[in-house]
Amino acid sequence: MSRIAVLKGGRSLERQVSLRSGARVEDALERLGHDVVGIDVGPDLIRRLREEVPDAAFVALHGRNGEDGTVQELLEILGVPYTGSGVLACTRATDKVLTKHLLLEAGIPTPAFFAFTQTAFRELGAAEMLPAIAERLDFPIVVKPSGQGSALGIKFARTPEDVPAALVAAFSYDARVLLERHVEGRDLAVSVLDGAGGPEALPVVEAVPREEDFYDFEARYEIGRTGFICPAELAPGTTERAQGLALACHRLLGCYAFSRVDLMLDRHGELYVLEANPIPGLTDTSLLPQAAEAGGIDFDQLVGRILELALERAAGAPA
């Protein structure tokens, strides 16, 4: 039995989702016989961790501070073993622009894009480039904040006139945004879980929005709003290709223990990686637990495996 601190909540916009992930993880850890301390992450985080002296921290945080390497850095300094990817992988994966550049360099398909900071518009006259960008990406285009994990702030621009308002919205969440060619098609997610023989891709999940024309923030976290098909029914070879891309992405970013890679499958059967999530949701409606289940790993086993991997990494780490 170990003493495990479950880090959850925090100040990120995904606080509620994280609280749900955290609560579910706590239950699982208790069923596994651990001594569990839930910590709603705030200014007293360091003090709490010093008081509680946990054997490991289960990071069930999503979004800013929790998923972007910030908390991971603090845990490194404190010497507390923690679950999931390390500082570098978190930093890479939560920066969509950086991720996409790395993907391109590695030859992993990702939709064409351009990225800008507010400064580029304010100080470098980037607005004059917008018509040229629009021409090169084809409408509709997707405008999204670079660093926001969920679908918050993601807008469709159907015409060039939609672009400025979509940019204003995306800049509400991050100082950097990206404009991306919209890939119309099927919404797939492949979760990756490290095992004895290295990372393994779990069965592919397809998200099918029931009403909305876009798998939005609401649909993503609500029971009943989105239909999930797992394993996704795909043409022969497509599943393997999607899983291969997810594994390549997981390795490329240096993710550890688990991750979820979101992809689009277009009409012609081409796959594109949209983004990778170093701490995907662990709620009842989340995709990783569904995929694990379809792969024969129930939630308790999933949580147990993730914890073991954290302890292994800590044990094997050079002093």
Partner 1 sequence: MSSPQQPPPRSTSRDLERYARLFASRTRVMTSSAMRDLMAITARPEVISLAGGLPDTSTFPPETFASVTAKIAEESCAKALQYGPTDGLDETKGCIAEVMAAEGMHADHEDMVVTTGGQQVIDLVTKTLIDPGDVIIAEGPTYPGAVPVFNAYQADVVQVDMDSDGMRVDLLEETLDSLEREGRKPKFIYTVPSFQNPAGVTMSLPRRRRLVEVANQRELLVLEDNPYGLLRYEGDPLPPLFALDGGVYVMYLGTFSKILSPGIRLGWVVAPPPVLEKINLGKQEADLCTSTLSQLMVQAYFEQADWRDYVGSLTEIYRSRRDSMLDALAEHFPREAEWTRPAGGLFIWATLPSYIDTTDLLARALRDNVAFVPGAAAFLDGRGHSSMRLNFSGCDEDRLREGIRRIGEVIKEQVALYSTLTGEVAAVKVEVPGTEIEGGRLVELPRRPARSRRAGGA
Active-site residue flag, 275: yes
Q: Which is nearer to partner 1, 127 or 314 (CB)?
A: 127
Range 196-235, binding partner 1 (CB under 8 A): 210, 216-218, 221-225, 228
Taking phi over 0 as left and psi of -120 to 50 as alpha, with beta for the rest, 93 belongs to alpha
Active-site residue flag, 260: yes
CB 169 within 8 A of CB 156: no
Q: Which is nearer to partner 1, 11 or 50 (CB)?
A: 11
Helix pair 130-137, 163-171: axis angle to 10 deg:
100
The alpha carbon of 215 is separated from its chain's Cα centroid by a whole number of angstroms, namely: 15
Range 163-192, binding partner 1 (CB under 8 A): 163-165, 167-173
CB 103 within 8 A of CB 257: no
241's enclosing H/E stretch is: helix 238-253
Token duo for residue 140: 């509709």
The alpha carbon of 288 is separated from its chain's Cα centroid by a whole number of angstroms, namely: 10
Number of residues in contact with partner 1 under rule CB under 8 A = 47
Active-site residue flag, 82: no
Active-site residue flag, 296: no
Token duo for residue 313: 């990494």
Query: Applying CB under 8 A, does 284 fall inside the site for partner 1?
Result: yes
Q: How far apart are CA 259 and CA 111, in angstroms?
A: 20
14, 67, 68, 187: the catalytic one is 14
- The least CB distance from residue 287 to partner 1, in Å, is 10
Among candidate residues 56, 94, 90, the one with its CA nearest the CA of residue 75: 56
- Taking the CB of residue 116, how many other CB atoms lie within 10 A of it? 23
- The least CB distance from residue 290 to partner 1, in Å, is 7
Active-site residue flag, 272: no
Range 72-111, binding partner 1 (CB under 8 A): none
Active-site residue flag, 146: no
Query: Applying CB under 8 A, does 298 fall inside the site for partner 1?
Result: yes
Query: Applying CB under 8 A, does 308 fall inside the site for partner 1?
Result: no
Sequence-separated (6 or more) residues with CB below 8 Å from residue 23:
8, 38
Query: Applying CB under 8 A, does 122 fall inside the site for partner 1?
Result: yes
Query: Applying CB under 8 A, does 128 fall inside the site for partner 1?
Result: yes
- 192 pairs with which residues across the strands? 201, 259
Exposure string over 264-275, b if 16+ CB within 10 A, otherwise e: bbeeeeebbbbb
Query: Applying CB under 8 A, does 58 fall inside the site for partner 1?
Result: no
Active-site residue flag, 84: no
Query: Applying CB under 8 A, does 256 fall inside the site for partner 1?
Result: no
Query: Applying CB under 8 A, does 305 fall inside the site for partner 1?
Result: no
Q: How far apart are CA 56 and CA 307, in angstroms?
A: 8
Residue from 55, 76, 300, 308 in contact with partner 1 (CB under 8 A): 300
Query: Applying CB under 8 A, does 274 fall inside the site for partner 1?
Result: no
10, 281, 286, 304: the catalytic one is 281
Strands 258-266 and 226-229 come out as: unpaired
277, 286, 304, 313: the catalytic one is 277
Active-site residue flag, 85: no
Query: Applying CB under 8 A, does 306 fall inside the site for partner 1?
Result: no
Catalytic residues: 14, 150, 221, 260, 262, 275, 277, 281
Interface residues toward partner 1, by CB under 8 A: 11, 13-17, 28, 31, 118, 121-122, 127-128, 130, 150-153, 161, 163-165, 167-173, 210, 216-218, 221-225, 228, 284-285, 289-290, 293, 298-300
